[in-house]
């Protein structure tokens, strides 16, 4: 994507096995540095840490499927 090439998004196991160049890995690491993902507990901790780090009093999360709700 960074190189302007279009391709399908690979499955997670394929992406994990991809032989990233050092420059590509740096890009991925930088992008993932601002992403909170994982189990519900991991996401809760990550968002709490983000809130403390930024000092914000509100977080807004978007999802592609608006029918999903918190449980």
Q: How confident is the model at residue 66 (pLDDT cuts 50, 70, 90)?
A: low
Give me the pLDDT at residue 6, please.
72
Specify the pTM: 0.50
Q: How far apart are CA 60 and CA 10, in angstroms?
A: 28
Per-residue pLDDT at 61 exceeds 70? yes
2-51 tens-digit pLDDT: 666 777 777 888 888 889 999 999 998 888 887 888 888 998 999 999 89
Helices (H), the chain: 12-17, 22-32, 40-54
Per-residue pLDDT at 71 exceeds 60? no
């Amino acid at each position: 994507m960074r190189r302007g090439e279009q391709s399908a998004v690979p499955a997670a196991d394929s992406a994990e096995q991809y032989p990233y160049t050092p420059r590509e890995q740096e890009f991925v690491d930088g992008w993932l540095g601002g992403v909170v993902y994982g189990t519900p507990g991991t996401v809760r901790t990550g968002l709490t840490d983000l809130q403390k780090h930024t000092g914000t009093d509100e977080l807004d999360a978007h999802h592609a499927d608006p029918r999903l709700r918190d449980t």
